[in-house]
Amino acid sequence: MLNITDKKVEEAIPPILRLGFRPFFLLGAVYAVIAVALWVWMFQNGQPATLKVPALWWHVHEMLFGFSMAIVVGFVLTAVQNWTGINGTKHHRLALLVGLWLLPRVLFWTPAPLWLISSIEALFIAFAAYEVGSRVIKAKGWKNLFFVPLFVLAIVANFASYATIKGMPPFPSSAVWQAMLWWFTILLSVMGGRVIPFFTARRFNFEKPQPMTWLEWTANLPLVSLFILSFFPVTFAQLGPSLMVISGLAHLVRVMRWQPWRTVKEPLVWALHLAYLCIPVSLLLRGLLDNPFAGHNMLHLFAIGALGGLILAMIARVTMGHTGRAIYQGPNMALAFAMLTAAALVRSVGVVLWPAHMMLMIDISGLLWVLAFTLYVIKFGPMLLKARVDGHLG
């Protein structure tokens, strides 16, 4: 009787609000298209009169705290149900979370004060942290509690990013963006280390390589140090390159242990490996290149190739699985994955090799990004708007 009642209650909820991945993956992917298209336009035409924050600040902030954070929240709200066995956030609470995410995206284009926008964003991240943390604590699944301090760090960094507009802290906005990129690197390293070898071994029927403690620490401890050092530019300049090389080499060993060469026939798996490979490659290039212009542009190899690439591969996979479909029998996204990798290479290596054509490189990279996420919206959007095909809840 309980199951019947649960099912009736569930069926009264619009499908888009039945689990966190649905609204956040769809809106996040749509916003990925809009935000990059707008940025490419701004890069060519300058600051729009209606945008109340500096255009470059808006671009970086919205790719991190707008697009990427939406996907992270959608993923974690969905995963915590599997981790704990406790029903995930849905319906009115989920709608409220979505509203708290959506409101700042709009308010940037209005005369709304920055304290209000930053407070709404903090409330969004704090609410998401509560929804995850309360379930993890209730289920005593302590290893998944690390998301809560990560979210707290994101709230602090977000407030700091707004303060830099007013020139308040003793560090520039670029320090905050650096720190948040390390925040996402740590997140991708931890989550990628869990799921990529597992998915690979399961799909290709071999035993998953067990994590090596010393390798995990060597890969991740420098990333934590780089996050902290981002706020101390002089020390970062002295120690950063060595830490990047150490972490980059460890991540390279790590990804090779996952046997990426086995995955060439399965786009949903090779896309994960290719995106993750952008982490060590970008770390090594940034650590070894003496040219500051070249080193700076390698940020985009991580931001587009690793962060964007892992997001696109994971949201395609999670959408299939959590809408009751066979994961490897969905729309072929190989072209979209390839376009995103190409976008990363054009925006990083292309700009370094042909700096005189930087504007063209940004146009090409932006177009490839927009096309990749548009393909996701077209192919997977309808799945997110409809009930699970297997009749289960979620």
Mean pLDDT of 236-246: 97
- pLDDT band for 61, please (50, 70, 90 cuts): very high
pLDDT tens readout for residues 343-385:
999 999 999 999 999 999 999 999 999 999 999 999 999 999 9
Mean pLDDT across the chain, nearest whole number? 95
Q: Is 226 in contact with 241 (CB distance < 8 Å)?
A: no
Mean pLDDT of 226-247: 96
Is the pLDDT confidence value at 5 over 70? Answer: no
SS (H, E, C) the chain: CHHHHHHHHHHCCCHHHCCCHHHHHHHHHHHHHHHHHHHHHHHHHCCCCCCCCCHHHHHHHHHHHHHHHHHHHHHHHHHHHHHHCCCCCCHHHHHHHHHHHHHHHHHCCCCCCHHHHHHHHHHHHHHHHHHHHHHHHHHCCHHHCCHHHHHHHHHHHHHHHHHHHCCCCCCCHHHHHHHHHHHHHHHHHHHHHHHHHHHHHHHHCCCCCCCCHHHHHHHHHHHHHHHHHCCCHHHHHHHHHHHHHHHHHHHHHHHHHCCHHHHCCCHHHHHHHHHHHHHHHHHHHHHHCCCHHHHHHCHHHHHHHHHHHHHHHHHHHHHHHHCCCCHHHCCCCHHHHHHHHHHHHHHHHHHHHCHHHHHHHHHHHHHHHHHHHHHHHHHHHHHHHCCCCCCCCC
pLDDT digit string (tens) for 28-60?
999 999 999 999 999 999 999 999 999 999 999
pLDDT in tens, 118-163: 999 999 999 999 999 999 999 998 888 989 999 999 999 999 999 9
